[in-house]
């Protein structure tokens, strides 16, 4: 067993687990943060995407022990002071979710996309979001939401 100490959504957390425990399972089972979803467990579907030290990464392709000392952001960390993140607002406004299974991964992936490319074209949004699979085929709404959020989040000129 190994000790894991990390910061999740700004809060110091710790746990003890086997080295083989995946970060996504540690978040869900040990820290009871079930907003991050487990999909394919081999890095294809993107449902488990979280931010690791500010960068989007697959939580099913990292061991929890590897996150020792890291700062993790999950979907639970997006709301601030009881208000939805502008990206979440945009998803609600533009029909960016149906069943919601892919939504946490979509949100964290889109957040990283907008940080690296604050004003993406529609093609760039589609390419960036190809990292996450939505089986409701709701991509149109998701793309619209991300583009709308880009406009809201863009620093004023």
Partner 1 sequence: MKPPKFEYHAPSTLDEVIALLVRYDGDAKVLAGGQSLVPLLNFRLARPAALVDLNRIKSLAYIQEHDGHVRFGAMTRQRTIEFSPVVARRLPLLREATRWVGHLPIRSRGTIGGSIAHADPSAEYPAVLTALGGEVVARGPKGERTLPPADLFETYLTTTLAADEVLTEVRLPAMPEGAGWAFEEFARRRGDFAIVGVAAAVWRDGSRVTARLATAGVGPVPTRLRACEEIVERDGLTDAAIDAAARRASELVEPDADIHASADYRRHLAGVLTARALTRARETARG
Which positions touch partner 1 (CB under 8 A)?
A: 2, 18-22, 25, 41-43, 46, 49, 52, 55-58, 60-63, 65-66, 109, 112-113, 116, 127-128, 130-131
Strands (E), 46-139: 49-52, 55-58, 71-73
Give strand pairing partners of 49: 58
Helix, strand, coil distribution of the chain in percent, nearest 5? 40, 20, 45
Which CB atom, from 8 or from 67, has the smaller least distance to partner 1?
A: 67
Asked whether the beta carbons of 141 and 94 are under 8 A apart, the reply is yes
Q: Which SS3 state, helix, strand or coil, does residue 148 take?
A: helix
Minimum CB separation from partner 1 for residue 119, in Å? Answer: 16
If the CB atoms of residues 46 and 141 are measured against partner 1, the closer one turns out to be: 46
Question: 9 or 109, CB closer to partner 1?
Answer: 109
Residue (41 or 93) nearer to partner 1, CB: 41
């Amino acid at each position: 067993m190994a000790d894991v100490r990390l910061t999740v959504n700004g809060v110091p957390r710790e746990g003890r687990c086997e080295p083989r425990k995946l970060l996504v399972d540690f978040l869900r089972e040990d820290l009871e943060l079930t907003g991050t979803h487990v999909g394919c467990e081999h890095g294809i579907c993107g449902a488990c995407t979280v931010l690791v030290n500010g960068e989007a990464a697959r939580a099913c392709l990292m061991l929890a022990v590897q996150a020792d000392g890291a700062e993790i952001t999950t979907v639970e960390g997006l709301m601030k002071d009881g208000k939805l993140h502008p990206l979440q607002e945009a998803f609600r406004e533009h029909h960016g979710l149906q069943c919601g299974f892919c939504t946490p991964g979509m949100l964290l992936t889109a957040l990283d996309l907008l940080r690296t490319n604050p004003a993406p074209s529609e093609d760039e949004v589609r390419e960036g979001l190809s990292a996450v699979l939505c089986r409701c085929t709701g991509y149109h709404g998701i793309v619209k939401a991300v583009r709308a959020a880009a406009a809201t989040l863009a620093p004023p000129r």
